[in-house]
Amino acid sequence: MFPATNRHKSDKKVNNRKVKVLINGELRSEKWMDVQVGDIIKLENNQFVTADLLLLSSSEPLNLVYIETAELDGETNLKVKQALTVTGDMGDSIKDLAAFNGEVCCEPPNNRLDRFTGTLTFTGQKYALDNERILLRGCTIRNTDWCFGLVIFGGQETKLMQNCGKTIFKRTSIDHLMNVLVLCIFGFLAISCSILAIGNRIWEQQEGSTFTAFLPRQDGVNAPFSAFLTFWSYVIILNTVVPISLYVSVEIIRLGNSYYIDWDRKMYHARSDTPAEARTTTLNEELGQIKYIFSDKTGTLTQNIMVFNKCSINGKCYGDVLDYTGQRLEITEQTDSVDFSFNQLADPKFMFYDQSLVEAVKLENTEVHAFFRLLALCHTVMAEEKNEGDLLYQAQSPDEGALVTAARNFGFVFRSRTPESVSIVEMGVQRCYQLLAILDFNNVRKRMSVIVRSPDGKLTLYCKGADTIIYERLHLSCSKLMEVTTEHLNEFAGDGLRTLALAYKNLDEEYFREWKERHHEASTSLEDREEKLDLLYEEIEKDLMLLGATAIEDKLQDGVAHTIEQLAKADIKIWVLTGDKQETAENIGYSCNMLREEMNDIFIVAANTPEGVREKLRHARSTMKPDSAEDELLCKMLQGDSPKVVPDESVTGEYGFVINGQSLAYALEPTMELEFLRTACMCKTVICCRVTPLQKAQVVELVKKYKKAVTLAIGDGANDVSMIKAAHIGVGISGQEGMQAVLSSDYSFAQFRFLQRLLLVHGRWSYLRMCNFLRYFFYKNFTFTFMHFWYAFFCGFSAQTVYDEWFITLYNLVYTALPVLGMSLFDQDVSDSWSFEYPQLYVPGQLNLYFSKTAFMKCALHSCYSSLVLFFIPYGAIYDTVKNDGKDIADYQSFALLVQTCLLVAVCIQLGLDMSYWTAVNHVFVWGSLAMYFIVTFTMHSNGMYLTFTSSFPHIGTARNSLSQPNVWLTILLTSILCVLPVLTHRFLLIQLQPTVNDKVRLKVRQMKAAPPPPPRRIRMRRTSSRRSAYAFSHAQGYGDLVTSGRFLHRQVKPRSTGFTPTGRTLNFSPAGRSAGYSPTAQNQNSKGDLEPTALQMYRTKQPSY
């Protein structure tokens, strides 16, 4: 109920979001839900795209629109879309747009995010449309004042929604089990009733027919008919084995445990003021059974912030804070950061902790200066300066932004650029470098260079790139420096940082002119242009002089590595599914400690053909486990049984597994999915990169299908919605931009690290409580009901109840309801801090140890034993006996009272044994319920009640008469002890002989006599790793062209006195661009004010809200 209303609210919020729609020649503000296909809508900067649009025109030159697609595919760099010139010419002329009369033919709605085909017929001409012209719903407009678009797909038909997967009604495995059990119980009920009916038939034949003198049969009732009636009477009496209150109680418990999640302060993120939220209240106990976690990367594991962390300049390493003994200190929030006040243009958000680097800069160390000069010059970043000194960088990749920002703070401020110049402020002095060439990045080159002429006329090539690539091109004289730098690089890599080597080369004027000519020739040639250019670049980028290396941290969310380690200890498998590139994903794998250098092997599956993929998978599997069964064999094995479950295969050693999206598409084919699943499951770590949202869901579905395991998907963006919906449990990261993931999730919180608390504490407790509850609930009801069964053999199978009617009514409702609820709301085996200390405590949940069919059977047998004790001990005790004043006590009413009192005391004691955490509330509930029983019983057996409601309370005086008898109390005592005796013995011996983790930890807790274990040590993870990755991997090709073409630089501003006058261009560089640029170091535009749920939910309202 609660989650449904919540969802409804947020859906409504999205549906009612406003967008400007062109109607009858004027722009009107309309609700999102009223937008229709064919509408022309106007979008403004930082707005979410409402629907899939055909871009018509934009404020930018060349009809460009910049968009961010993080919500769609997890990539954070800006992308460019361009409108057709023919539509772009309309600009923002409302008249023209209103008169626009084109016809769009396109493909039917589909889920391919990277492809679009269609045609636009306009003024008799046909124009081809491709993905370049389409703005997809879920994107965000950046750096663009306005743009107009024509709605092509709306609502469910948008590619985003097509990728979302179906919303399924989630039920927990306990629910399924419970349904099965309830069916079994019904069967059992039918059998019991049949037995009793047959008993009645026999009794009627043998006894009843002769007893008619005292108890005549009713007219028309013969023995068989009486048996038939008896059957139904017993159905009514024994129906307490199928307790309706079970379902109600289960929901109450889940609700309570959900509230605990909402209330948990340790899952509250103060910075974003976001508490955790249980959006679904029916899945709690499954949180304690998670076996597979599917995690998104960007925004979930990482913060998507790059931080310039360390560097090595001329053989000296900067960035570590050392104490006086030379030990490396851990950097915490208390550590003093470097004071950049000497630099007016410094970015105040930039933090660096090593003072020595600033001193080196101040001392005008040549290499250090050259190092930062390179960083300030060699990049494709755009700068915007709203006010004097208030710089905003727009970088194509966050890494670049981080490097340029670092240079800025150390006194080499990149201020502005024109297509032909770069102007920087070097230690307070404005200098302008002539930009002669950009040797752009691509995936093969893995480096970029710029060739600049300094104000004093020197020609220099600055190059940065992956260290291996740079090292190949270094001058021989650098070999010594190379060695030292390599050491530093290894160290950086060991810390999980992205490294980059920097080098420069002074160019000879003559040589350069000649090279430039050839370059011009090559760049204008029509054939093999790329190859020719590559050759030219190759030629000039050699004999470089090494300057040093940078180390950038792709900042993980707080505590990610620790959380992953904890979850791994709890035997939870984590798969990373990301839309990002393979290299970035791998790198994050390393920095989260998911991939490790010491792993036996890391398989990378990246093939273009199904055969290739299969080959790689086979190879991986045979490497890990040469004797593992062949697919065909397994298939055969699976065909027989209807629930197909692929067993876990254990391998010795640790392996990593990385697969890219294209290979994954093949691997998910029905013929190969088993191969893929088996291989992947053998590996410790699985990373899928470049996957589409739908593939994420497919992977989850695959695991759900073949593994009898509970899955959890966690993500933050629209691209994670499908897997969040597909998994048993979906978790959304809230508090950031966009809310799609949160809106379709079952649980949401602000930080990935809260996952460990959600699972290891809340999940585990919920599971434990639910199982304890179920076991106890079945126990108490079975025991209660079995007694009727035994009594049937002594009352002629006449459907005589063994208790009085009021007890039957109140047993579940009053006498036993609260104690068990108290247990299921407050019970804890060990405290939360111990749960963290021993994540292994989580494992029983994954194995379904606490409540399963076996546990249920045990429970039923236990009840059977208890009911035998509870019936036959009182039977023996009152047989042929009398009160101590000689009067009757073996009467039915006294017997009923005795039996029900024994039962209640026994189930209360059993509860006490099951409960390991007695809070004051539990005490009140348990003792209160017992007291309540006696109070109610004495009240109902009182004279007053009989005189007022004569026929309703015929048991008058029974309590007084029999509870005053010592042998009644001795019977109660005997039955209670006899009921718990075997339980106690069994449990005690089990603890001694086969202690579970749980028992051990509890014993340890007792020994420590104190709840909080030593606060979790945050061990700084240091790894020795030779593996390195360069920032450049997160880079895309082609930005250099944009920079030099001047497309970015569209504003006419009066030229500043830069000492360099650009020639031959009409567009001047302007540092006073708009403030709206996107840059990782200036996230202010992503502040909370803009936070709004995005797209997606608009269509939720159409789906049934249960």
Partner 1 sequence: MAASCWPASGFYREKKRNCSARTAIFDGGMMKNKEGEVANRPDNTAFTQQRLPAWQPMLSAGIVIPGFLVIGLVFIGIGVALFLGSQSIQVLESDYTGLNSNTPCYECSDASKKNCTCSIEFTLTKQFDGPVFLYYGLSNFFQNHRKYGVSRDYYQLSGDTAYFKNPSDSCSPYIYDSGVPIVPCGAAANSMFNDSFRLYQLVGGTKKPVPLDGKGISWWTDYNIVFRNPPLVNGSLAAAFNGTAKPVNWAKPAYELDTSDPSNNGFMNEDFLVWMRRAALPDFRKLYRRITQGDYAAGLPVGNYSLEISYNYPVIGFGGRKKIVLSNVSWMGGKNMFLGVAYLVIGSLCIVMSLVMLIVYAKYKFPEGDS
**Which residues are part of a known binding site for ATP?**
296-298, 400, 441, 464, 498, 578-580, 690, 696, 719-720
Could you tell me which residues are beta bridge partners of residue 498? 552
Q: Which one, of 1023, 34, 1054, lies nearest residue 491 by Cα?
A: 1023
Closest CB 874 distance from partner 1, rounded Å? 9
Among 1001, 1030, 1032, 1098, binds partner 1 (CB under 8 A): 1001
Residue 997 contacts partner 1 per CB under 8 A: yes
Query: Shortest gap between Cβ of 822 and partner 1 (angstroms)?
Result: 11
Q: Does 798 bind partner 1 (CB under 8 A)?
A: yes
Residues 353-392 that bind partner 1 (CB under 8 A): none
Contact flag: residue 804 with partner 1 (CB under 8 A): no
CB of 917 to partner 1, least distance (A): 5
Separation between Cα atoms, residue 933 and residue 959, nearest integer Å: 11
Catalogue the long-range contacts made by 982-986 (C-beta closer than 8 Å, 24 or more residues apart).
982/865, 983/862, 983/910, 983/913, 984/913
Indicate the residue among 61 and 256 with the shorter CB distance to partner 1: 256
Question: What tokens does 711 get?
Answer: 């899955």
Q: Which of 698, 894, 901, 1058 binds partner 1 (CB under 8 A)?
A: 894
Beta bridge partners of 424: 414, 431
Complex with partner 1: residue 693 or 822, whichever CB lies closer? 822
From 799, 843, 859, 903, residue interacting with partner 1 (rule: CB under 8 A):
799
Q: Which is nearer to partner 1, 833 or 1083 (CB)?
A: 833
Q: Does 884 bind partner 1 (CB under 8 A)?
A: yes
Task: Indicate which single residue of 599, 875, 930, 1044 sits in contact with partner 1 (rule: CB under 8 A).
Answer: 875
Which residues sit in the known binding site?
296-298, 400, 441, 464, 498, 578-580, 690, 696, 716, 719-720
CB atoms within 10 A of CB 869: 21
Cα(524)–Cα(530) distance, rounded to whole angstroms? 11
To which residue do tokens 């060990």 refer?
830
**Amino acid at position 22, single letter:** L
- As measured in angstroms, the least distance from the Cβ of 304 to partner 1 is 22
Kindly give, in sequence order, each residue whose CB lies less than 8 Å from that of residue 1039, ignoring residues fewer than 6 positions away.
380, 396, 440, 441
374, two tokens: 């390179």
Cβ-based nearer residue to partner 1, 838 or 850 = 838
Catalytic (active site) residue 296? yes
For residue 3, is it left (φ>0), alpha (ψ between -120 and 50) or beta? alpha
Q: Does 429 bind partner 1 (CB under 8 A)?
A: no
Q: Does 890 bind partner 1 (CB under 8 A)?
A: yes
* Binding of residue 835 to partner 1 (CB under 8 A): no
Q: Give 46 or 798: the residue with its C-beta nearer to partner 1.
A: 798
* 332 vs 1007 by CB, closer to partner 1: 1007
Rank residues 127 and 875 by Cβ distance to partner 1 and give the closer one: 875
**Stretch 434-463 residues interacting with partner 1 (CB under 8 A):** none
Say which amino acid occupies 326: G
Residue choice 316, 1000, 1051, 1074 for contact with partner 1 (CB under 8 A): 1000
**Cα–Cα distance between 227 and 215 in angstroms, integer?**
16
Please report, in angstroms and rounded to a whole number, the separation of the first and last CA atoms in the chain.
8
Restricted to residues 907-926, the positions that interact with partner 1 (CB under 8 A) are: 909, 912-913, 916-922
- Please report whether residue 420 would count as binding partner 1 according to CB under 8 A: no
- Interaction between residue 879 and partner 1 (CB under 8 A): yes
* CB-facing half-sphere around the CA of 1105: CA atoms within 13 A: 19
CB neighbours of 874 closer than 8 A, spacing ≥ 6? 895, 898, 899, 902, 971, 975
Q: How far apart are CA 947 and CA 1010, in angstroms?
A: 57
Note whether 687 and 594 are within 8 A (CB). yes
Stretch that binds partner 1, among 595-603, 655-663, 996-1004, 1034-1042 (CB under 8 A): 996-1004
- The 3-state DSSP class for residue 614 equals helix
The alpha-helical segments, DSSP class H, found in 28-84 are 70-73
Please select the residue that binds partner 1; options are 1, 363, 476, 993, rule is CB under 8 A: 993
Query: How many residues are given for the chain?
Result: 1106
Q: Which of 74, 88, 165, 275 is in the footprint of partner 1 by CB under 8 A?
A: 275
Which parts of 205-264 interact with partner 1 (CB under 8 A)?
207, 210-211, 213-216, 218-219, 233, 260, 262-264
Applying CB under 8 A, does 192 fall inside the site for partner 1? no
Cα-Cα-Cα-Cα torsion 56, 62, 67, 69, nearest 10 degrees, comes to 90
By beta-carbon proximity to partner 1, the closer residue of 640 and 886 is: 886
Q: Which residue number, 1 or 920, has a Cβ lying nearer to partner 1? A: 920
Which residues in the 625-684 window bind partner 1 by CB under 8 A?
A: none
Residue 603 · residue 656 · CB < 8 Å:
yes
Q: Which of 186, 511, 892, 927 binds partner 1 (CB under 8 A)?
A: 892
Q: Does 525 bind partner 1 (CB under 8 A)?
A: no
Quick one: 265 or 1054, whose CB is closer to partner 1? 265
Among 849, 991, 1042, 1072, binds partner 1 (CB under 8 A): 991
State which of positions 928-987 bind partner 1 (CB under 8 A).
Answer: 943, 946-947, 950-951, 954, 956-957, 960-961, 965-967, 970-971, 973-974, 976-978, 980-981, 984-985, 987
The DSSP secondary-structure symbol of 83 reads -
Query: Rounded distance, CA 553 to CA 606, Å?
Result: 26
Given candidates 156, 245, 490, 828, which one binds partner 1 under the rule CB under 8 A? 828
Q: Which of 27, 570, 878, 1030: binder of partner 1 (CB under 8 A)?
A: 878
Helix (H, G, I), strand (E, B) or coil at 745: coil
Site for partner 1 in 1004-1023 (CB under 8 A): 1004, 1006-1007, 1009, 1011
Given a contact cutoff of 8 angstroms between Cβ atoms, the answer to whether 328 and 320 are in contact is yes
Mention every residue, 6+ apart, whose C-beta is less than 8 A from residue 409. 340, 343, 346, 347, 350, 352
Should residue 171 be labelled a site residue for partner 1 when binding is judged by CB under 8 A? no
**Which letter does DSSP use for residue 1089 in this model?**
G
Q: With respect to partner 1, which residue has the nearer C-beta, 481 or 877?
A: 877
Reported in sequence order, the residue ranges of 102-183 that DSSP labels E, i.e. its strands, are 102-106, 118-122, 125-129, 134-135, 140-142, 146-153
Other Cβ atoms within 10 Å of 1008 Cβ, number: 12
Q: Which of residues 22-81 bind partner 1 (CB under 8 A)?
A: none
Binding region for Mg(2+): 296, 298, 716, 720
Which of 103, 598, 880, 1089 forms a contact with partner 1 (CB under 8 A)?
Answer: 880
- Any idea what DSSP says for residue 628? P
| Count, residues near partner 1 per rule CB under 8 A | 107
- Min separation Cβ 876 and partner 1, Å: 4
Partners of residue 128 on adjacent β-strands: 119
Rounded CA separation 39/150 (Å): 6
Q: How far apart are CA 715 and CA 738, in angstroms?
A: 12
268 binds partner 1 (CB under 8 A): yes
Q: Is 2 in the site for partner 1 (CB under 8 A)?
A: no
Residue that the structure tokens 């247990």 belong to: 823
Contact status: 992 vs partner 1 (CB under 8 A): yes
Between CA 830 and CA 1005 the distance in angstroms is 8
Q: Could you give the CA distance from residue 495 to residue 492 in angstroms, rounded to a whole number?
A: 5
In this chain, which of 166, 887, 1017, 1054 binds partner 1, going by CB under 8 A? 887
Least distance (Å) between residue 854 CB and partner 1: 22
User: Active site residue: 11, 52, 296, 495, which one?
Assistant: 296
Say if CB 549 and CB 1028 are below 8 A apart: no
Structural contact between residues 267 and 801, judged by C-beta atoms closer than 8 angstroms: no
Span of 72-80, 269-277, 406-414, 767-775 interacting with partner 1 by CB under 8 A: 269-277
Looking at the annotation, which residues are catalytic?
296
